[in-house]
Structure 1
Amino acid sequence: MDRHGIVNPGLPPGKLLSRVLILIIALTLGSVKGYGQSASTTLRGKVVETGNGYAPIEFATVQLLPTGLATVTDSRGEFQFDQLSPGRINVKVDFLGMETIDTTFTIASGVTEMTFKMKERTFRLAEVTIVARESKAGKATSSSISRQAMDHLQVTSLRDIMQLLPGGVVSPESGLATAKTFTIRSLGADRLNANIPIPTDAANMNSMGTAIVIDGAPLSNNANLQTLSPSISGGGGSVGGGSSPNSGLDVRSLSTDNIESIEVIRGIPSVEHGDLTSGAVIIRSKAGREPLTIRLKTDPKIYQASVSKGISLGEGKGNLNLSGDYAYGISDATQAYAYYQRATARAMYSNRFGRQLFSNTSFDFSLGKDTREMNPDDQRNQLETGARDVGVRFNTNGTWNLNKAWLRNVKYALSGSYRDKHSFSKELLGNAFSAYSMSNTDGAVLSNRPGQKVYDADGKELTHIPSNESGLIATYLPNEYMSRYDIYGKEVNLFANINASFSKRVGKVTNRILTGVNFKTDGNLGDGKVYDLNNPPYRNLSSKTNSSPRPRKYSSIPFVNQFSLYAEDNLLWRVATRELSVQAGLRYDNINAKSVFSPRTNFAFEVLPDKLWLRGGIGVTAKAPTVLYLYPEETYFDFVHFNTLNSSSVPENEQLLLASTRVFNTRNKDLKIATNHKKEVGFDVRINKMRFSVTAYDEQLKNGYRLGRTIDSYRWLEYTEYEEAVHNPGAIPTLREKENGKHNIFVSFATPLNDARSHNRGVEFDFDFGRINAIRTSFVLNGAYMRSTDWNDGHSFSNQKNRNELERNIGIYEKGVERLERERLTTTLRATHNIPSIGFVLTTTAQVSWLNKYWNEYGNDTTFVAYISRLDGKVKPFNDDVLQANPDEFSYLFETRSSTRHVMESYFPVVLLNFHLTKEIGENLKASFYVNNMFNRRPLYETKRSPGSFIRLNIPMYFGFELAMKLK
């Protein structure tokens, strides 16, 4: 790495990328001759539907691996691949509503003809897929979740599928009432109970670094700015609802009923996927014809209805798939005034143009609305909040099969989205006394009347009124007033990707080389923060620095542009009867003049043919900073120099407030790109129908983003207080400086930082014991041991004041003084009993938390390493000698530390039993029911940090019902 923490393999970025691309192109072009020397073959086939007179299936997707070739069937269900090399080949056939066919066979020279018979995906099959399936060896470690699994699980939000992943648990934060983000290999949002602390910065970075990709194009939360005062609070909490700007996308806005399948990449993804650190969720939407399907779902917190229909427009005219849904969710039945609503609609058009080009084009609409009406019992605060998110998205993607001797195909994806967001908060504020100036100008000094000038006894003007702010005032806010502020965001995202796939086979070696380029831009064209200047939002008193927000127009903020190049080689080498597969690639990203290289490699070796594989991987993933971090808002501080407002002893026309404003730019020009360094090793075993997979991983997030304070964000200022020098009857007084009225004070603000760190490691396992036909039951056991260490690798500070004095020193603790350690071991056993003849499936899940604990590790959190002096604002070393020489100067800085802060909380093992049932009623009706924590087992645990205090483990009992009807 260079001094900025950017991956640099040793050469300048431009030269290194050029050499890599030249090498890949040379290898590819050099292979043309070798390829031509091999005998070629043609694979011709037909895809038909069993149970329907073997009717041909049009628009079925046929993929060839490892070559990467793909096509769709014509109106006769036929397909053809030319100029293939003889040898072993893997064929995968997909079609909406059908069981996927995935088979491997050997093709010889000449013409090979095959017929693939697809079965309708129902619960009347002998084997049903209601669990996540692990990826094949040699690829990124991932889990694939089918439509059948989602139906049986009765998912309402994309977040619900996390429980199917190894180590995933049923979260206590169910429902749609609060924002939901997706995390991978994280001990954060999927905590087992609400008492385990979540390190906010680590959880936000994990969800921000999880890419949500739909039909080849990623969704984006990069331009989200629905927050009030991040530079003051040091956080990015959303206003009224929805995801916060410093976390990942709120996945509640995505309907799960128009999804055909999901792949969750937990390991090292292909270099084709960028702008991520944790992993990726790859969503494949429904495309093609399907019967009219109506779904109705309900549970104590959710009501949902959805409808979908796939229509064939006729031979050569393609298919049109239409879907829509509406959902209503609450957090508590006793709080009917707080609720969430979602409405979505999608139109997907699919067609094949000739034999070479096939594409999907979709248009999406979504509406998400968080509402908190005024609680009738809350007459004191009268709080009302809301967040509305209206979005439209266009996506088109396709494959152009050139099928030349070396250039196989070109794939493209183009998408654009627009999200119109409006958040608001309305509240009757109490205890709101604070200074407030309407000025946005650094150094402005205003009084309580527009344009009013104030002088001292020497005739010197004390006010400084900018020409464009002559109508503004400074004031002291009343104790109580009604305040409302609105935030208007208009988020724009454009994404374009194109790549070319080159494939060749020479002897027993097959190479598939992928090269591509993509571009993404994110910006916000909204009016931003808007409010009545006379009734501003509540000042954050916890900042203790007279800071307050200001209106900000988001359309003035530059866009964030990301340009990327990538190249990857997928090599498959047959060694005797074994295979060695290697996926190696390099990605280059440039984000607003900041750049990073991301090399990634996955490999696998077949030790025992068709039985045992050893695999591993190493790589770097990178996440670009968002608008919130690249272009943070300025921070404002207001200081009162003289105030007689609202004084009963001073006539109104003689009352005066004099206040100054200081403005600071909070931008961090040295902000680096966050990277995650991922390593893993594992093995896969297959014995007949049984399969066993184990993966050990180690991931270290570096340069993670957060908003925080640094030494440079503490500013040393001179503050002057005035008193009345001359009383002017009927007019404002003439002022003079108070005796001992000059003070050295500090103000501080939050700035974008790169010091959020995480170290996640663990072992995941997935054991599928197959179906025991004698008892019609299959067993799958998965789980994970996970260990997380999260910390901020920067200084922390003591801001304690010396009694009521204005002046104070700032204590500086050593970097990374506190770390949060968490450890968990969970296993999940799923026993699925099915009776195909009556379409009956019953799954009983036993989730056991064997190990669940957390503790804090501290460095020297009792003594400072340095301090910022109140006398001159300079950083000076601190030690016992300094303290003993002047104890009154520093003793007040030392904060009280809890004597139990080192104590480890270790919960005893608990068992969670869940129950899912699905029954097909006739050919057109299906009913599903589930219960989580079916025995409502919630034992009490006495906390070690607070003896005598108890918490309940496990989630509360929760249940739901779904009815689905198909009209063929």
Structure 2
Amino acid sequence: MIKALHTITFLFLTIPFWAEAQSVKEIRGKVTDTANAPLSFCNIKISQSDLVVSTAIDGSFTIPVLPGTREIQLEVSHVGKQVVQRTISAAAFGNFLVIRLQDLSLSLNKVEVTGIRKGNASNSSILYNREAIAQLQAFSLADILNNLPGKTTTAPQLQNPQTITLRSDAGGNHALSNSLGTAIILDGVRQSNDANMQSRSLSIRGMTSSILGSRSDGSFDVPFGGIDLREIPADNIESVEVVSGVASAQYNELTDGAIIINRQAGRTRYQFNTRINEGSTDFSLSKGFGLGKKLGALNLSLGYLNSNKDPRDKIKSYNRVNSSLMWTIYLSKKIKNTLSFDYNTRLDDVKVDPDDDAELKTYAKSRSLSISNRTSITFGRGFVKSMNMSLSFSSGYQDTYNQWLLNGPPKGLANKDTTGVYEGIFLPGAYLAEERIIGKPRNYAANISMISVFNTDLMLHSISYGLNISGSGNKGEGIVVDPERPRWINISNQNERPYNYKELNDMTSAGVYLQDNITLRLGRRNVHLGMGLRYDIQNGTGSLQPRMSARYMLSKKLELNAAYGISSKSPTMAHRNPAPAWLDIPLLNLYNGYADQSLFLVYTQKIIPDNSNLKPSRSSQLEVGLKYNDTWGSTSFFAYLKQDRNGFNSYSRFQPLNLPEYGYTAIPGQKITYYPTGNTITYAGAGNYVITNGLSSNNYGVEWMIQTRKIPVLQTSFTAGTSFSLSTYHNATDRRVIMVDNAYIQQGKEAWYGVYHADEKKNWSLTTKFGTDTHIPKLGFVISLSADIFWQKSTETLNHGNEPIGYIDKNLQYHDIPYFSSSNPVYGYLKLDPDVVIVNGVAMSNTAPTKLPFVYGNLNMRIAKEINKQIRLSLSAYNVLNLRPEYYNPVTQSTTVYGSPVSLTAGLSVQF
């Protein structure tokens, strides 16, 4: 695999020598503001070639144009300015262009205040620009993404982690795997959660149950999954592009889409923002300083957020502090460099309730420092038109703590780190128990990419190619266990031991890619083809990932598009390096009231997991779509099939132990003595959780969006979007293994464990979003209404059989059962009881589908008023009509309330 990577890397780096440079023309121009002052560091994107150039300190720019080009389309953007799109015909190539950008303001005639289908990074991507983000009054990135099709617009949720899943209705570990495979890319750098190991022993509890949390408020860390979106503030974000379809081959370490975030860079005025929602308050201040012609521009941003779950007692709170510094400079006319520093802290804190005798207390705090450097070089006339290089490094500190005052009888504890029989210790029943995990994650990455543009006959080729390497490590103290104050004792015949992360090796991944975006004429219309190929090495496994897309204009208004691609995501350090399993089997547990005279004889078997063979999770997606644009507006329709394979799962594995039997002699006033009897006892219930590539899901869906332009007589535009999503998912390789009753083992029966089909589930949902935006430029006023309609949401368990398909004997040998017979003496007793549960004394099938009993919805409202283009007052109301329908289930005799109570967010933004 390494040899193959070296070969492909060599070929990619020699691409510039495959063809001779073609002679090119140049378009020259200048970008200014409305006062004719030059604007530096503007981004000018050429849509046909994917090239991006930046304006110099004096606002000037030069764009190379290949011979035979009929026209080019430019998109010019600058922080705090309205984006301008310009089409330049061949006849105007020699003219000097002057492009003026207006300040973003509600007084402009055209303002985008909702997300739009843009199709930049993929055919179906959705873009939120600066004005749309400001209108949302977002406390974090999560509030922006709640406006996506199929998501629910809710008041800010800040008391627990928020992650994102795209194009999937699967739950449990499948949802964890989906969020892990959704890449968050900030200013061109992927934000990695691969070094997050804030979990207790996975061997004891599995993935989700191993995350440390509080009894009243759940957990606050996100190992095994994606980035916590609460930690990404929204105020300094310039744009967010959501790629839920097939991404370009440029993007790595993803299986379920990408969130591409660009932050503000360039000279700006001071911007102060504040907002309040119930017990949550947010403040931010930012400024872009011009440092002169030689030193470029410096952007500073500071933010503070405080959120209390209940402002009356302030027992549960969330605090976030974020700061960023971004220095952009031209090292020469063709070399632009951006150096970024980010320092962030967060604290989830559950204080001791004065009325709680158990003295429960939980906190999860972290801090991180990130440094990145991006260099962009424009070559102009050569075969290589541009080169981008980036280096990034982040280092953090994570500390999760939980305490509980225990009051019970003395208990025996196994505490040695070796395999064998020994005497454990007895702990008093009353003490303040503690759990603590300390991590010091670090992530680093290096990327280099180049773009070449050339013509071949009737085709325009825009080829991007590059390579990347990334790594993750964790040098924290790890799982910290006080042997005299453990929180849990003998959980599933296991006990926590200290586990030091400092001894773990870093994980590295590397990859190369080639992407050829082709434009050609077919009849009177253009065809756009994207042909991409990636090769990655992740956890020692090579992965070849073709990605293809096509767009064809059937007419001037109607576009047909399609895409297919394969992508992969490497396991994280938490998957790769779980703590060892210590199977602790009590042989004699004799307590007579005096610890020094009592006896706790225990056998411990230490199992060190080897997950070096874990494969990357893998996804393939097929997407087809139609886009229609007219003078009244636009509509789009997309259908997709996405297959996720090799997802990461925690699977319970039995480890039967045949151990010697011991007798004992108890003499009052003396230490209890013990001796072997010569007999053995089999402990068939011992076991631990292991990590596998056992998850598999098929995801189907359609997305339909309509967006109208503003109707002048109403000053109002309308949007609507309907999303249908269906997921079937199961543990493809991890079947259910259930131990038989111990009585059958004692009788000498052959089958010790029954093997059954893995649970297969089907979830589906149908939702619609409606929206209206009334914008009156003369008043600087916008009022937006949005409604979420929940037509149906269903969860159903499939193929949950109670008849075995095989069994495992005492020697751990598997035997297939082609046709089950309950009269078979070998395995007939393995048939499980019917799948029923007792709810309020009523027997019910636990595989019956769960559906919404009725259609319901909510209505949200946002109002914004701008004063003198400097002050903006905003008010957002969630579920403004307080629609909270209730359903009484006569079978379970329980009542379910749908929807959330009314919630208000008030905001103030000032520029000066």
Given the two structures, how large is their TM-score scaled by the length of structure 2? 0.93
Q: Report the equivalent of 2:20.
A: 32
With over 3 angstroms needed to count, the CA separation of the structure-2 counterparts of 1:583 and 1:433, relative to structure 1, is: farther
Deviation at 1:636, TM superposition (A): 0.6
Q: Report the equivalent of 1:471.
A: none
1:46 alignment partner, one of 21, 27, 30 = 30
Q: Report the equivalent of 1:662.
A: 605
Task: Determine whether 1:821 maps to 2:762.
Answer: yes
Q: Report the equivalent of 2:754.
A: 812
Q: Report the equivalent of 2:897.
A: 952
- Structure 2 counterpart of 1:330, which letter? N
Q: Is the 8 A contact 2:28 2:97 kept in 1?
A: yes
2:464 alignment partner, one of 510, 514, 524 = 514
1:446 alignment partner, one of 422, 432, 452 = 422
Task: Determine whether 1:779 maps to 2:718.
Answer: yes
Task: Determine whether 1:57 maps to 2:39.
Answer: yes
Measure the CA separation in 1 of the matches of 2:595 and 2:79: 76
Gaps of 5+ in 2: 214-218, 838-843
Measure the CA separation in 2 of the matches of 1:138 and 1:281: 10
Deviates more, 1:570-579 or 1:215-224: 570-579
Superposed counterparts of 1:441-520, under 5 Å: 441-443=418-420, 445-447=421-423, 474-520=424-470
Gaps of 5+ in 1: 1-11, 189-198, 448-473
Q: Report the equivalent of 1:229.
A: 201
Q: Is the 8 A contact 1:158 1:254 kept in 2?
A: yes
- Structure 1 counterpart of 2:167, which letter? R
With over 3 angstroms needed to count, the CA separation of the structure-2 counterparts of 1:42 and 1:530, relative to structure 1, is: same
- Structure 2 counterpart of 1:572, which letter? T
Task: Determine whether 1:962 maps to 2:903.
Answer: no
Q: Is the 8 A contact 2:179 2:226 kept in 1?
A: yes
- Structure 2 counterpart of 1:370, which letter? D
Superposed counterparts of 1:118-517, under 5 Å: 118-136=101-119, 139-171=122-154, 174-187=156-169, 199-236=171-208, 237-240=210-213, 241-333=219-311, 336-379=314-357, 381-430=358-407, 434-443=411-420, 445-447=421-423, 474-517=424-467
Deviation at 1:640, TM superposition (A): 2.1
Deviation at 1:941, TM superposition (A): 2.5
Q: Report the equivalent of 1:553.
A: 500
Measure the CA separation in 2 of the matches of 1:424 and 1:359: 41
Task: Determine whether 1:848 maps to 2:789.
Answer: yes
Q: Is the 8 A contact 2:360 2:405 kept in 1?
A: yes
Measure the CA separation in 2 of the matches of 1:662 and 1:359: 56
Q: Is the 8 A contact 1:396 1:414 kept in 2?
A: yes
Q: Report the equivalent of 1:926.
A: 872
Measure the CA separation in 1 of the matches of 2:524 and 2:819: 71
- Structure 2 counterpart of 1:510, which letter? L
- Structure 2 counterpart of 1:131, which letter? T
- Structure 2 counterpart of 1:573, which letter? L
CA deviations 1:83-137 (Å, max 9, x no partner) are: 5433221111110000111232322497232111211111111121111111238
SS in 2 for 1:111: coil
CA deviations 1:652-673 (Å, max 9, x no partner) are: 6543322221111233343211
SS in 2 for 1:619: strand
1:875 alignment partner, one of 811, 814, 830 = 814
Measure the CA separation in 2 of the matches of 1:923 and 1:769: 26
User: What root-mean-square deviation, in Å, do the aligned CA atoms of Structure 1 and Structure 2 show?
Assistant: 2.6
Q: Is the 8 A contact 1:41 1:109 kept in 2?
A: no
Task: Determine whether 1:833 maps to 2:833.
Answer: no
Deviation at 1:437, TM superposition (A): 1.7
Q: Report the equivalent of 2:841.
A: none
- Structure 2 counterpart of 1:719, which letter? L
Deviation at 1:734, TM superposition (A): 4.1
CA deviations 1:17-48 (Å, max 9, x no partner) are: 9579859967x755436x34xxx321011112
1:539 alignment partner, one of 478, 485, 489 = 489
With over 3 angstroms needed to count, the CA separation of the structure-2 counterparts of 1:19 and 1:482, relative to structure 1, is: closer
Q: Is the 8 A contact 1:798 1:893 kept in 2?
A: no
Q: Is the 8 A contact 2:805 2:820 kept in 1?
A: no
SS in 1 for 2:400: strand
Q: Is the 8 A contact 2:40 2:56 kept in 1?
A: yes
Q: Report the equivalent of 2:577.
A: 631
Measure the CA separation in 2 of the matches of 1:112 and 1:427: 75
SS in 2 for 1:756: strand
Aligned length: 895
Superposed counterparts of 1:597-616, under 5 Å: 597-609=544-556, 611-616=557-562
Q: Is the 8 A contact 2:303 2:321 kept in 1?
A: yes
CA deviations 1:277-328 (Å, max 9, x no partner) are: 1111111011111111111110113111111111111122211111111101
Measure the CA separation in 1 of the matches of 2:191 and 2:380: 31
CA deviations 1:219-249 (Å, max 9, x no partner) are: 1110111111211101244324533211111
Q: Report the equivalent of 2:216.
A: none
Measure the CA separation in 2 of the matches of 1:229 and 1:872: 27
Q: Is the 8 A contact 1:820 1:854 kept in 2?
A: yes
Deviation at 1:329, TM superposition (A): 1.4
With over 3 angstroms needed to count, the CA separation of the structure-2 counterparts of 1:551 and 1:404, relative to structure 1, is: same
With over 3 angstroms needed to count, the CA separation of the structure-2 counterparts of 1:263 and 1:497, relative to structure 1, is: same
Measure the CA separation in 2 of the matches of 1:764 and 1:14: 43
1:748 alignment partner, one of 687, 707, 720 = 687
Q: Is the 8 A contact 2:552 2:559 kept in 1?
A: yes
- Structure 2 counterpart of 1:220, which letter? S
Q: Is the 8 A contact 1:138 1:602 kept in 2?
A: no
Q: Report the equivalent of 1:452.
A: none
Task: Determine whether 1:694 maps to 2:637.
Answer: yes
Measure the CA separation in 1 of the matches of 2:541 and 2:597: 56
With over 3 angstroms needed to count, the CA separation of the structure-2 counterparts of 1:902 and 1:327, relative to structure 1, is: same
With over 3 angstroms needed to count, the CA separation of the structure-2 counterparts of 1:281 and 1:644, relative to structure 1, is: same
Measure the CA separation in 2 of the matches of 1:744 and 1:59: 70
SS in 1 for 2:245: coil
With over 3 angstroms needed to count, the CA separation of the structure-2 counterparts of 1:788 and 1:892, relative to structure 1, is: closer
Q: Is the 8 A contact 1:918 1:929 kept in 2?
A: yes
Measure the CA separation in 1 of the matches of 2:337 and 2:746: 67
Measure the CA separation in 2 of the matches of 1:25 and 1:143: 35
SS in 1 for 2:685: strand
SS in 2 for 1:601: strand
